[in-house]
Amino acid sequence: MRPDPYAAPEAAPPPAHPGKLAVIEWIGSAAAVLMIMLTMTFAMPVWRTMFREFGSLDDLPLLTRIVLVPWSIPVITLPAVAAIAMALRALRRPAQRRRWILAAVILACLGLAVCVVATRLPSFMVAEKIQAE
């Protein structure tokens, strides 16, 4: 008796390389970490210097002051790095691994958005004061 060619397979075939990251996963992981690290390492010191030249940092909005503090680099980067670490723990489960990498990219984008908003808030404050006059 021949097997039914239309029958569902008993089990899904194992992935070709279950313990390795795919290229897109490497790209996502690298983008998540590099995006936030480069911004925090190179751009934030420039903003910090510029705001100091304008006057006291105490006059800046709270979010701006928080982002400009040196310890904010690891705090803003940590969630994305933790998500990548969780992805590396899930090497044998591709679906879970990809969810963690996606979470890392989203967390890195959120961290970058916080940095962008924080550096733009003083401009909005100045524009508000000019408009009030």
Give, for all 133 residues of the chain, the pLDDT tens digit: 677 777 776 765 555 555 666 777 778 778 877 877 787 778 788 888 888 887 777 788 899 888 888 888 788 888 888 988 888 888 778 888 888 888 988 888 898 888 889 888 888 887 877 877 6
> In angstroms, rounded to a whole number, what is the distance separating the alpha carbons of residues 131 and 128?
5
- Angstrom distances, CA of residue 10 to CA of 5, 7, 13, 115: 12, 9, 9, 51
Number of C-beta neighbours around residue 128 at 10 A:
9
> In angstroms, rounded to a whole number, what is the distance separating the alpha carbons of residues 60 and 63?
8
